[in-house]
Every structure is written in C-alpha cells, then in structure tokens.
A and B are shown apart, each in its own frame.
Chain A
Amino acid sequence: GAVVSQHPSWVICKSGTSVKIECRSLDFQATTMFWYRQFPKQSLMLMATSNEGSKATYEQGVEKDKFLINHASLTLSTLTVTSAHPEDSSFYICSNGALSGRVGDEQYFGPGTRLTVT
C-alpha cells in the first residue's frame, strides 16, 4: 500500500508559537489529502480536506486562520498550527487519497504527530 510519512513525529511548543507539520505521500501522487485530529481515547475527527493547487476545505468548527493548510505539490501537504494554545494539544494524522467513497480508493494514514503545547 501507499506510504505516508509525517514530520515531526512529536513536538512540544510554547503557547503562542506556531508549529508546522508535514505530511508526505511517498509513493502515491495525492491530489487530495486529509487532516485529522484525535484527542485521547477518542476517534479521528476530520479537520480539513487539502487539495493540491487550491484552497483547503475546512470542516465546520475548524478555524481556517488558525490551522493553515498548504498543498503545493502532489506529494506534500503541510498543516501549520498558528498561535498554539494548550487546548490544541492533540494527535494530528494525515491521510492521502486521490478519490474516495469508491472501492479500491484506499486512504493511507500517516503515523501521526503528537503536539503538546505548554
């Protein structure tokens, strides 16, 4: 299956600073990538859909100015958490997928990035 990597795997930052998380699709050209957030003992929650060469589509309740997404190439999407606060501490996971909802359109998830804001 397709391989998705994330960097960094974990990061600790101070409140008020910004953190950038990279998601790379290593062997699959992903026109669409997805960003999820997962709080302890909860399931994944979709934050936004990242579209190569265009603006991301954010889910209701997710602040686009706080979570900046850039998908400049078919293999890289970045999520920047701006002015981070302790409540932003979470596990951030990305996935790739050219299309979805169809048989064979698998979504491959990255290993996740643990963000801790102090």
Chain B
Amino acid sequence: KNQVEQSPQSLIILEGKNCTLQCNYTVSPFSNLRWYKQDTGRGPVSLTIMTFSENTKSNGRYTATLDADTKQSSLHITASQLSDSASYICVVSRSSNTGKLIFGQGTTLQVKP
C-alpha cells in the first residue's frame, strides 16, 4: 500500500532553534518527493522537490534530505522564526502521468518566542 508517514505529529520549539521533521514512505514506483509548508487556512506552498538521485536540496533555511534506499526523507529548519509556525507536509509522487500525489498527515510546528 502506498503510504507516507510523518513524525512527529506536532512539535513546539523556541525561536532561533533548529528542528528536523521526518518522513517515511512506501510509495512505489517512486518519482519524486516534495515538502510543502501550509499556513493555517491557506493552501500548501512548495519548499523542495527531490528525485531519487538527489540526496539533499536547500531552500533558504529549509534543507531537505532524501535516502531513496531506506525511503526516508527529512526536513531541517535552521534558526527557526515565528513565521515558520505552520504544518509541513511530505508528499510523494509515483512514476506516472496521472498527477496524483500521496500526502503525509503533516507535522504541525509551533515556534514560540
């Protein structure tokens, strides 16, 4: 069964601290893995997209890693800011042209001052 699981479910950190979110997937065949940030009451916004050949990709203070062998990905946030408070969703795309994405449940991050 094609699934995407994220951990932790929620996380609270202090402003300025770093954090790492985890994503495990069982999607096959694998095409690419995406991390999205979703603010409350808004649509998701893309942070990174990685194919199986990419191990790491950065977008500002966000760095995503991918281990296609173990089917694990992580999103590392450096020097967190209050505006980082949001839900972070790991999304995997299968090798097809249907356009369907498989979503994780998301990790809710709260950054406190």
Of B44, B98, B106, the residue contacting A109 (CB under 8 A) is B44
Q: Report the minimum CB–CB distance from B86 to chain A (whole Å).
A: 13
Chain A min CB distance to B84 (Å): 19
Which residues does chain A contribute within 8 Å of B44, judged by CB atoms?
44, 93, 109
Which residue from B45, B89, B101 sits with its C-beta under 8 Å from A100?
B101
**Interface size grouping (class) on chain B:** 20 to 34
In the complex, which residues of chain B have a beta carbon less than 8 angstroms from the beta carbon of A46? 100-101
The answer on a CB contact under 8 Å between A101 and B96 is: yes
Interface string of A33-71 (1 = CB under 8 A from B): 010000001111110010000000000000000000000
Cβ-defined contact, A111 with B95, below 8 A: no
B43 touches A43 (CB 8 A): no
Bound form: Cα–Cα A66–B53 in Å:
42
B76 at the interface (CB under 8 A from A): no
CB distance A100 to B46 under 8 Å?
no
Nearest Cβ distance between residue A85 and chain B, in whole angstroms?
22
Interchain nearest-CB distance for A40 vs B (Å): 10
Chain A residues within 8 Å of chain B by Cβ, number: 30
Quick one: closest B residue to A46, CB to CB?
B100
Q: Is the CB of A109 within 8 A of B45?
A: yes
Given the known interface contacts A43-B89, A43-B105, A106-B49, the answer about A100 and B100 at a Cβ–Cβ threshold of 8 Å is yes
Contact between A49 and B43, CB atoms less than 8 A apart: no
Question: In the complex, what residues of A have CB within 8 A of residue B49's CB?
Answer: 103-104, 106
Minimum CB distance partner of A10 in chain B: B41
* Closest Cβ neighbor of B54 among chain A residues: A103
Bound-complex Cα distance A108 to B100 (A): 13
16 additional contacts (CB under 8 A) given A49-B99, A91-B41, A103-B49: A32-B99, A43-B105, A43-B106, A44-B44, A46-B100, A49-B100, A93-B43, A97-B99, A99-B99, A100-B93, A100-B98, A101-B32, A103-B32, A106-B49, A109-B43, A109-B44
Q: Which 10 A-B pairs have the closest CB atoms?
A: A100-B99, A109-B43, A43-B103, A101-B31, A101-B93, A109-B44, A112-B43, A101-B96, A43-B105, A111-B43
Can you list 13 A-B contacts with CB-CB less than 8 angstroms, sorted by A residue number? Answer: A32-B99, A42-B105, A43-B89, A43-B105, A44-B44, A44-B103, A45-B103, A46-B101, A100-B97, A101-B93, A106-B49, A109-B36, A114-B41
